């Protein structure tokens, strides 16, 4: 499209001052977002709600969608991608991915100039060809959109049909009609779009501005987002562009076999050898600080309680790997598969304070113990609120800052089956775990010296956060599960007090 054929000025010329009482209407792909392609987001829904085979189905349909897009119509191309992505999928699963997975990826692609104008207006409306069910959660919760007008997907008995319902895909004149139906005779002040198919609705606004495509433009920094993405779910680390999606599908069978080999090495070899076996198999374990020596049972001393930040359920495994000896751990909920394949002993917490305190004291009498007082994992550079009970049970506290790096798959999930967590972590081509042992907590900072348990817990949280350059929060396990799953994360099965061989916390 030549610049002299565009009937609208560039968005950079739009003033954002004094817009508090104005209404803005914006397109999504290429306008609010820098990227014009919706393929990565359809791929995310396909993989996270349907699995690798569904992602393969979307990949195979992409060439046909591209041909229809360029030689027939934009609407026809989008409908092919929608059908491949959604047909037969549970509507609740699509909504779940839209709420828990997509906001992280959308937020990393926010257009700075479009956001400058969009955020300055008092009423915000988004017109998009994307399915409303897929984008509404992000647009309303994270960008403060008041109205989201998108393509509607048909459903039957709780499952998507894959077909578009009336009035069809929102492109060209359909966007203009949707705008008129929403606002009637009231004319919005600003219309933002990036391509010719947006012109019909932009002409209905008092002012129209085009968003030029600029692949070199940097997205809005995460720290400047209107709402930080503290919690997110999903297995994929990187946005599945066509090339990345192909590599992911090809790598999964290879990665699964590699994960089985790595897990077998961790479970079957003596702990002093696991560190070297992991390095030989491409798993890097970086140890920093000076870990304490193991307490000898004959000495009568109680064990050290390692206070770990919680990144994956493998934290105690890599703590043991760094120490060269197995360390028992307490946990709240793990899968039965993880119980079977685990190389370390842990005991499940019951959430009964008296029973849990008694159990932890008994474990400390037997030796060192690891605990993750956040109660659940967090992927972003934040620490959740530390539960304070551990501080009342012993003065022998050693903070441990845990951090990991994954290039393809996340090793945690809130929505999916937790039994696959260790597999997905070890399926990464070269995962990294960094274990930093901090100084043992001085006696004057413990409960024995008059500090409250919450003061001790908050202090350790701050020390670990400072080491990792993370931010402390007051969020809890319940907050995470309410945000991602819609419940408080409670485990309904009957707890077992008997110690088991299980994987992590």
229 inside domain:
no
- Range of 121's domain? 3-224
Residue, of 300 and 256, whose pLDDT is higher: 256
How far is the CA of 407 from the CAs of 104, 283, 311, 401, 424, in angstroms? 16, 12, 15, 20, 11
pLDDT, the chain, mean? 91
Same domain, 210 and 293: no
Same domain, 256 and 333: yes
Same domain, 116 and 254: no
pLDDT tens for 471-497 read 999 999 999 999 999 887 776 554 443
Kindly provide the residue ranges of all beta strands, DSSP E only, lying in 251-313, ordered along the sequence: 284-289, 305-308
Same domain, 269 and 144: no
Whether the model clears a pTM of 0.75, i.e. scores above it, the answer is yes
Residue-level pLDDT at 331: 80
231 inside domain:
no
- Residue 288 zone, left/alpha/beta (φ > 0; ψ -120 to 50; rest): beta
User: What does residue 375 show for φ and ψ, rounded to 5 degrees?
Assistant: 85, -15
Residue-level pLDDT at 292: 87
Residue-level pLDDT at 299: 60
Tokens 């565009």 belong to: 6
233 inside domain:
no
Domain-ending residue, one of 196, 224, 252: 224
Give how many domains the chain has, as a whole number.
Answer: 2
Collapsed DSSP state (helix, strand, coil) of residue 327:
coil
> Across residues 115-142, what is the average pLDDT?
96
Same domain, 161 and 87: yes
pLDDT tens for 305-341 read 999 999 999 999 999 999 999 999 888 766 666 666 7
Banded pLDDT at 5 (limits 50, 70, 90): low
Same domain, 161 and 277: no
**DSSP assignment letter at 20:** T
274 inside domain:
yes
Same domain, 208 and 257: no
CATH of the domain at 165: 3.40.50.1000
Same domain, 185 and 246: no
pLDDT tens for 32-68 read 999 999 999 999 999 999 999 999 999 999 999 999 9
Beta bridge partners of 397: 305
Same domain, 216 and 359: no
Residue-level pLDDT at 497: 34
Residue-level pLDDT at 293: 84
pLDDT above 80 (res 298): no
Residue-level pLDDT at 177: 95
């Amino acid at each position: 499209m030549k610049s002299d054929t565009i009937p609208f000025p560039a968005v950079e010329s739009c003033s954002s001052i004094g817009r508090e009482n104005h209404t803005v209407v914006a397109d999504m792909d290429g306008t609010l977002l820098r990227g014009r392609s919706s393929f990565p987001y359809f791929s995310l829904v396909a993989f996270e709600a349907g699995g690798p085979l569904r992602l393969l189905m979307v990949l195979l349909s992409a060439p046909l969608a591209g041909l229809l897009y360029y030689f027939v119509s934009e609407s026809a191309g989008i409908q092919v991608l929608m059908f491949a992505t959604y047909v037969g999928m549970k509507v609740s699963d699509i909504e779940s991915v839209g709420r828990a997975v997509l906001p992280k990826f959308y937020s990393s692609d926010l257009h700075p100039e479009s956001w400058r104008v969009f955020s300055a207006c008092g009423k915000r409306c988004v017109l998009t060809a994307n399915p409303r069910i897929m984008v509404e959660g992000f647009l309303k919760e994270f960008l403060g959109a008041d109205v989201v007008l998108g393509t509607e997907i048909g459903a039957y008995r709780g499952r998507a049909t894959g077909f578009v319902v009336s009035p069809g895909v929102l492109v060209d004149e359909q966007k203009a009609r949707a705008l008129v139906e929403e606002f009637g005779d009231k004319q919005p002040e600003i219309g933002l779009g990036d391509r010719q198919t947006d012109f019909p609705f932009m002409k209905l606004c008092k002012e129209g501005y085009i968003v030029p495509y600029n692949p070199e433009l940097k997205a809005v920094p995460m720290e400047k987002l209107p709402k930080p993405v503290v919690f997110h779910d999903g297995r994929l680390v990187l946005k599945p562009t066509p090339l990345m999606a192909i590599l992911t599908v090809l790598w999964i069978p290879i990665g699964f076999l590699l994960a089985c080999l790595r897990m077998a090495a961790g479970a079957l070899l003596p702990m002093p050898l696991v560190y070297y076996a992991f390095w030989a198999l491409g798993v890097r374990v970086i140890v920093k600080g000076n870990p304490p020596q193991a307490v000898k049972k004959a000495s009568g001393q109680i064990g050290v309680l390692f206070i770990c930040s919680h990144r994956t359920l493998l934290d105690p495994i890599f703590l043991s790997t760094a120490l060269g000896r197995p360390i028992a751990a307490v946990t709240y909920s793990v899968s039965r598969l993880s119980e079977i394949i685990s190389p370390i002993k842990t005991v499940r917490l019951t959430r009964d304070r008296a029973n849990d305190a008694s159990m932890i004291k008994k474990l400390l009498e037997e030796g060192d113990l690891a605990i993750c007082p956040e109660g659940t994992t967090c992927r972003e550079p934040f620490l959740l609120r530390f539960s304070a009970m551990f501080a009342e049970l012993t003065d022998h506290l050693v903070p441990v800052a845990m951090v990991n790096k994954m290039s393809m798959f996340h090793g945690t999930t809130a929505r999916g089956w937790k039994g696959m967590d260790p597999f997905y972590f070890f399926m990464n081509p070269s995962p990294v775990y960094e274990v930093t042992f901090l100084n043992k907590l001085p006696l004057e900072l413990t409960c024995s010296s008059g500090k409250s348990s919450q003061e001790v817990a908050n202090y350790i949280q701050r020390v670990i956060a400072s080491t990792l350059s993370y931010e402390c929060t007051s969020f809890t396990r319940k907050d995470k599960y309410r945000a991602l799953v819609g419940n408080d994360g409670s485990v309904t099965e009957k707890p077992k007090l008997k110690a088991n061989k299980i994987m992590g916390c």
